[in-house]
Structure formats: C-alpha cells, structure tokens
Amino acid sequence: MEENPEEPLQEEPEPWYKGPLRYVLAAFLILLLVIWIPSYYFNFNPRPKNIPSIQDVAPKLDFASNETFRLKSQSDFARFVNPEDPALRQIAAKVVAQCDGNKVCATEALYLFVRNNINYVADPVDFEYVEDPKEVLSVKGADCESGTLLLATLLESVGINAELVFIPRHAFLRVYLPEASRLIRYGDWVYLDWTCSECDFGEVPQKDLDARQEYMGVG
C-alpha cells in the first residue's frame, strides 16, 4: 500500500502590527506629534522687527507739564488712560504698522517701544506723582505707574484690552491675548512689566507674579 506524502505545513501570516505597516504607522504618529506640539505651545505670530524711537514717531513732541496729581485711590489711575487722544493714537499706529493687524505682534511692539524709550525714575518717598502719558513721552522718564499708564493707553488705542496690575509698592500690566503662545500666557492673559529691562516679552519677575495682585480695567 502506497503511503501519501505529508502535506507541507502552511505558515501563519505575520500579524499586521509586526509587519512593515507598523513603521508606516509609527512615522504617521511622529508626524502628528511634530505638527501638533508646536501649534499647541508656540503660536507662530509675527514679531516686530523695528522698534522706533520717540523721535521717529513723534519728532515735535512737547507735552511737558508742571501740574502734579495726588491720587486718593487706585481708581484714580483710570482717568489717565485716554485711548481716544489723537496724538497717542497716531503714535501707537506708527509703532504697530509693521504688524499688519496681528495683536500679539502689536502688543510686543508697543511693550518694547515703552521699555526701550522710557527711563524708570522712582517717585520721592511718600509722594505719588502721576504723569499724563503724553508727558511721559515728552520727558522720556516715569515711575512704574506712569509708564504703565502710557503702555495701557497705547494698547487700548489700537483695540487691545489691558488691565492694570497692582501689587505692594509696584504696578505693571496684563493684556488679554488668548491667541498668544501658551508659554507666555497665564490663562488668557500676558503679563508685561516695562520697568524690567532684562525681561523679554511676556516675562515678569516671579516674585511679582507670586505677590498679592489687584486688577483694574482701563478700557
């Protein structure tokens, strides 16, 4: 009796997750991460390339005043913010013209304009002197509150919402910019301190962020 030869054993197909497809899938996932992570953390807004001097944007500026203002409460600061002032609106418009309507770029341009052109000068002890924003530009010097009021006025004049931030013995600004990078935002706000010469856009000393804060809208 003739014996039947044994049939060859058939190999099981290799699972898809062990074949070449796994490399394609891995490459696709890596590509998604490369695209998603930068867009989540780094909103790629244009940055201002040219920060003008006061002379560049207001060559005939002369708003020096001999009038002084004593403040009774923090709410008195708001009356120094006048975004409708034609001269200040024109100055702000010249500074942000390079940004083509981008609010993050415009905010950085105005922040650097104030930081680079205004010298910090502390008030005498126990005396609070507040300069009008136009006077700050004219004399090129101010204490923290007066310079912050100038920056707030310039921002508000181009439609950017700003709030004064008060901490013990200091004041700075926060700006509503939900479109800014998450690396520089606290919630939807970007904090700015023009008196901090070593601070980049969106940086504020940690001790100031940790201090007790009070906010006041100016728009």
Report yes or no on 88 lying in a domain: yes
Instruction: Check pLDDT > 50 for residue 9.
Output: yes
Report how many domains make up the chain. Answer: 1
**Which residues are bridge partners to 170 per DSSP?**
167
Report yes or no on 69 lying in a domain: yes
pTM, two decimals, is 0.78
Query: What CATH code is carried by the domain that includes residue 213?
Result: 3.10.620.30
Give per-residue pLDDT as tens, 169-200.
Answer: 899 999 999 999 999 999 999 999 999 989 99
Q: Which domain, by its residues, includes 62?
A: 54-217
Report yes or no on 44 lying in a domain: no
Report yes or no on 45 lying in a domain: no
Instruction: Check pLDDT > 70 for residue 6.
Output: no
- Residue 121, judged by CB atoms within 10 A of its CB (0-12, 13-18, 19+), counts as middle
Separation between Cα atoms, residue 10 and residue 143, nearest integer Å:
86
Report yes or no on 22 lying in a domain: no
Report yes or no on 4 lying in a domain: no
